[in-house]
A and B are shown apart, each in its own frame.
Chain A
Amino acid sequence: SQQGEEDPQALSIQEGENATMNCSYKTSINNLQWYRQNSGRGLVHLILIRSNEREKHSGRLRVTLDTSKKSSSLLITASRAADTASYFCAKSGANNLFFGTGTRLTVIP
């Protein structure tokens, strides 16, 4: 499977703390994307990192990519209760994106 894995499956933190989620994959990629899903809603694109990039920032989000280890991480700094959601990584394949199973983040006020 090209989907790889995300870990942890679930993460619970206090508001103000940082949250780190990891994503691994098995085959080469063109890019890797992170998405957010609030319960019962569609996914929202957060950030795209290309295979020749190592780090990317967007507001409180920081994404890293290590192609030698075939892994990526998403860091959310200074978390807020509104960050509570599921976060998915998606790996670009030959003609599609392949989504992982996600990390369920709960931020406790």
Chain B
Amino acid sequence: DGGITQSPKYLFRKEGQNVTLSCEQNLNHDAMYWYRQDPGQGLRLIYYSQIVNDFQKGDIAEGYSVSREKKESFPLTVTSAQKNPTAFYLCASSIDYVKEQFFGPGTRLTVL
């Protein structure tokens, strides 16, 4: 089956710890994205990558880091520098930036 997967579904982290969220796609898409969604809010772009080994900051990149070493993988690290990391994180991919985006099921991160 073609699609985009995220793991884990739920993640708990203690304050001061870094944590990495996984995002994998087998759609052969060049572009991948990370969004953050807070309760009752829209999506805010954290980072995006339009090609392997290249990525750009989105609107709220502070406290986050990414890598794009493989076309199918775009992991997001939430660092201890992120002041309010509790949120729902969504990964997406697309053929290019103007086409439809395909979303993963999301990871809900809670900082204890």
A50–chain B nearest beta-carbon distance, Å: 9
Q: A25 near B: Cβ within 8 Å?
A: no
Question: Which B residue's beta carbon lies closest to that of A41?
Answer: B105
Interface residues of B in 1-49 (CB under 8 A from A): 6, 33, 35, 40-43, 45, 48
CB of A61 within 8 A of chain B?
no
CB pair B103–A88 under 8 Å, yes or no, is: no
A43, A95, A104: the one within 8 Å of B103 (CB)? A43
What residues on A are CB-neighbors of B50 within 8 Å?
95
Cα-based distance from A96 to B99 in the complex (angstroms): 10
Q: Which of A31, A44, A97 has the most CB of B within 10 A?
A: A97
Q: From known contacts A42-B90, A42-B106, A44-B103, infer whether A99 and B43 are also in contact, taking CB-CB under 8 Å.
A: yes
- Please indicate the chain A residues that have their CB under 8 angstroms from the CB of B33 in the complex: 96
B interface, size bucket: 20 to 34
Q: Are B42 and A102 in contact (CB under 8 A)?
A: yes
Q: Which residues of B contact A95 (CB under 8 A)?
A: 48, 50, 56, 97
Q: List 25 A-B contacts (CB under 8 A).
A: A3-B42, A30-B98, A31-B98, A33-B100, A41-B105, A42-B6, A42-B92, A42-B103, A42-B104, A42-B106, A43-B43, A43-B90, A45-B102, A88-B43, A90-B101, A92-B98, A95-B48, A95-B56, A96-B58, A97-B97, A99-B35, A99-B42, A100-B42, A101-B41, A102-B42
Q: Are B97 and A96 in contact (CB under 8 A)?
A: yes
Interface set of A (CB-CB < 8 Å, partner B): 3, 30-31, 33, 40-45, 48, 88, 90, 92, 95-102, 104
Among the listed A30, A97, A102, which residue makes an inter-chain contact with B101, where contact means beta carbons less than 8 Å apart? A97
Distance (whole angstroms) from the CB of A13 to the closest CB of chain B = 20
Docked complex Cα distance between A103 and B45 (Å): 19
Q: How far is the CB of B44 from chain A (nearest CB, A)?
A: 8
Closest to B45 in A: A96
